[in-house]
Amino acid sequence: MTAPAYLVVGGAHGLGEATARELAQDGANVVVSDLGTTVDGSGSDPDAAEETAAAIDAEVDDATAVAHFGDAADADDAAAAIETALESFDRLDGIANFAGILRDGMSWSLSDEEWDDVVRTHLRSNFTLLRSAVTHWRDVDDDSERSFLAVSSRGALGNVGQLAYASANAGILGFVRAASSELDRQNVRVNALVPNGYTRMTESVPEEHRPYTREEMPPEKVAPAAAYLLSEAADDVTGVTVTARGDEIGILSEPRQIRTAVAEDGWDVDAVDEAFDAMTDGYETTRTETFL
């Protein structure tokens, strides 16, 4: 059998780079795809993906890494990234999408462009990649299992000044729940990873406010969880959100209804008010703290 092949988007730096390297060390061929932007999404650099792919290729004897330069949120570039894998390795077994940028801003000062750029990079890129990949996989006449790993963030839990970032990353979790149900019969597993590790985004925070150092939270500690979710070892795992940080991995709970009130004769405002007090007894209804 030939080695599996994976596409790692946002693979030139940080968590994506660590995952691409982990996959190659495990014997898989890898496409390192990256637009080579700065943390805020500005600029582009084709050398970023080239340099990372070349480094992996030089370090690992039993696998091949190739580079792709492009914007995964662009439908043509997403299709080209997938075509790079097929042309290079004649197969594509899975995709991990680490594409992400950071544009902090309060709701009253965030521009339309800043909002759109963050949502486009984090959320739309998963759609364009998945659509292109599934279109190909449906055309392949075999029963092979494939995987798609959408990378979200703890920022999805909400943080002051990160309205766009939180919204986009929370959207990824809904994306995964819907896509995993839709694609189960297509033999495509879809999962989410919520990682935490030292990256360029961490470095963009003033040193005195950084939550941890690279030594404490290296991205390499997250990579095995990502590689596992992509691999055949996780063949019964789909629709799940996995967390990984340092020496910990975990499962993030799904939103669910936890309390219910019933009015047999229907509701009016006064009845809702009365029931709401009883229904939320002991439950914090003023939720303004940061959940990170």
165 in catalytic set:
yes
Reported as a pLDDT band with limits 50, 70 and 90, residue 204 is low
Split into its structural domains, the chain has a count of 1
Q: Measured between alpha carbons, how far is 53 from 33 in angstroms, rounded to an integer?
A: 9
Residue 278 falls within a domain, yes or no? no
> Domain range holding 41?
5-251
List, for residues 135-170, the tens digit of each pLDDT value: 999 999 788 999 999 998 777 676 777 889 889 999
Which CATH number covers residue 147? 3.40.50.720
Residue 259 falls within a domain, yes or no? no
pTM assigned to the model: 0.91
Predicted confidence at residue 156, as pLDDT, reads 64
Residue of 165, 198, 212, 283 marked active site: 165
CA-closest candidate to residue 96, choices 131, 39, 147: 147
Reported as a pLDDT band with limits 50, 70 and 90, residue 57 is very high
Residue 292 falls within a domain, yes or no? no
Where do the H-state alpha helices sit in the chain?
Answer: 14-25, 47-59, 75-89, 112-119, 125-139, 163-183, 200-203, 223-230, 269-279
pLDDT exceeds cutoff 70 at 94? yes
- In this structure, are residues 7 and 127 in contact, taking their beta carbons and an 8 Å threshold? no
Residue 269 falls within a domain, yes or no? no
Q: Measured between alpha carbons, how far is 131 from 223 in angstroms, rounded to an integer?
A: 25
pLDDT exceeds cutoff 90 at 112? yes
Q: For residue 255, what is the DSSP state?
A: P
Residue 82 falls within a domain, yes or no? yes
The more confidently predicted of residues 38 and 204 is: 38
Segment 119-128 shows an average pLDDT of 97
Predicted confidence at residue 284, as pLDDT, reads 85
Reported as a pLDDT band with limits 50, 70 and 90, residue 105 is confident
Residue 275 falls within a domain, yes or no? no
Q: Measured between alpha carbons, how far is 123 from 134 in angstroms, rounded to an integer?
A: 17
Residue 285 falls within a domain, yes or no? no
Residue 168 falls within a domain, yes or no? yes
Tell me how far CA of residue 286 lies from CA of 48, 161, 226, 282, in angstroms: 45, 19, 35, 12
Q: For residue 131, what is the DSSP state?
A: H
CA-closest candidate to residue 148, choices 115, 121, 177: 177
Averaged pLDDT score across all residues of the chain: 91
Predicted confidence at residue 209, as pLDDT, reads 65
pLDDT exceeds cutoff 80 at 211? no
Q: Which amino acid is at 205?
A: V
